[in-house]
């Protein structure tokens, strides 16, 4: 719609807040072909799972802590049931990989059923459990065992996204995925890019 009306639409803060996830893939991997994406896309669920893993807390206790700290909303449904991560997955699939998908195309499973025992069992194998969003032949968001040495194994409310491309291989970007100041920096980044584009257009 923006292209049809000859206007600029930028939305970098929608994925990763201040961390330039979309820009990294769109600009730094320009000329390469992204074949798959895996990511920790929701800081709230990452905080909850990290606390459960490190402090052996129950889901309910870790969620209550996240709510006290302001990471989780009073109604945490969008986060803990995977819908927020799924929405971000759709944005990346369409913007970065030219897919034509909606949230209905994403298989979604949240973290409500993950227990401290599940995390303990994973730890015995050198793994942990994260809510991972992935784009390959299908799109899905689900609790997934990953190695504790995996670049996606980030703690707290951090986000991490691994892009696999044909030429460059795997590249991972890590940063804060939420926060007022962080998101404001993304809005400023978008405004400056629009300003640059307008200036270039006027000079042409």
Each domain of the chain, given as residue ranges in start order, spans 15-178
Q: What's the chain's average pLDDT? A: 95
Confidence category of residue 70, pLDDT binned at 50, 70, 90: confident
User: Does 99 qualify as catalytic in the annotation?
Assistant: no
pLDDT of 45 above 90:
yes
Query: pLDDT over 90 for what percent of the chain?
Result: 88
The span from the CA of 107 to the CA of 47, in Å, is: 22
Assigned token pair, 172:
């991972």
The catalytic residue among 26, 88, 107, 140 is 88
Q: Which CATH number fits domain 15-178: 3.30.360.10, 3.40.50.1950, 1.10.1200.10, 2.40.30.170?
A: 3.30.360.10
pLDDT of 177 above 90:
no
The span from the CA of 153 to the CA of 3, in Å, is: 38
Averaged pLDDT, 91-97 = 97
pLDDT of 178 above 90:
no
157-176 per-residue burial string, b: 16 or more CB within 10 A, e: under 16: bbbbbbbbbeeeeebbbbbb
pLDDT of 204 above 80:
no
What pTM was computed for the model?
Answer: 0.92
Name the β-bridge partners of 155: none
Task: Count CB neighbours of 41 within 10 A.
Answer: 28
110-147: pLDDT as tens digits: 999 999 999 999 999 999 999 999 999 999 999 999 99
């Amino acid at each position: 719609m923006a292209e049809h009306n000859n206007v600029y639409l930028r939305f970098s803060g929608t994925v990763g807040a201040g961390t330039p996830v979309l820009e990294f893939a769109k600009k730094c991997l320009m000329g390469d072909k992204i074949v798959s994406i895996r990511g920790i896309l929701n800081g709230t669920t990452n905080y909850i799972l990290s606390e459960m893993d490190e402090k052996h807390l129950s889901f309910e206790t870790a969620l209550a802590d996240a709510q006290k700290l302001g990471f989780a909303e009073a109604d945490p449904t969008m986060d803990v049931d995977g819908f927020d991560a799924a929405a971000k997955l759709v944005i990346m699939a369409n913007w970065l990989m030219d897919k034509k998908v909606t949230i209905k195309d994403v298989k979604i499973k949240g973290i409500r059923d993950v227990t401290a025992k599940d995390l303990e069992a994973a730890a015995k194998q050198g793994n942990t459990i994260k809510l991972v969003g992935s784009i390959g032949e299908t799109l899905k968001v689900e609790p997934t065992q990953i190695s504790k040495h995996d670049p996606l194994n980030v703690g707290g409310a951090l986000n991490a996204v691994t892009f696999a491309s044909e030429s460059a291989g795997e590249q991972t970007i890590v940063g804060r995925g939420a926060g007022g100041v962080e998101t404001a920096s993304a809005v400023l980044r978008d405004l400056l890019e629009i300003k640059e584009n307008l200036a270039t257009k006027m000079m042409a």
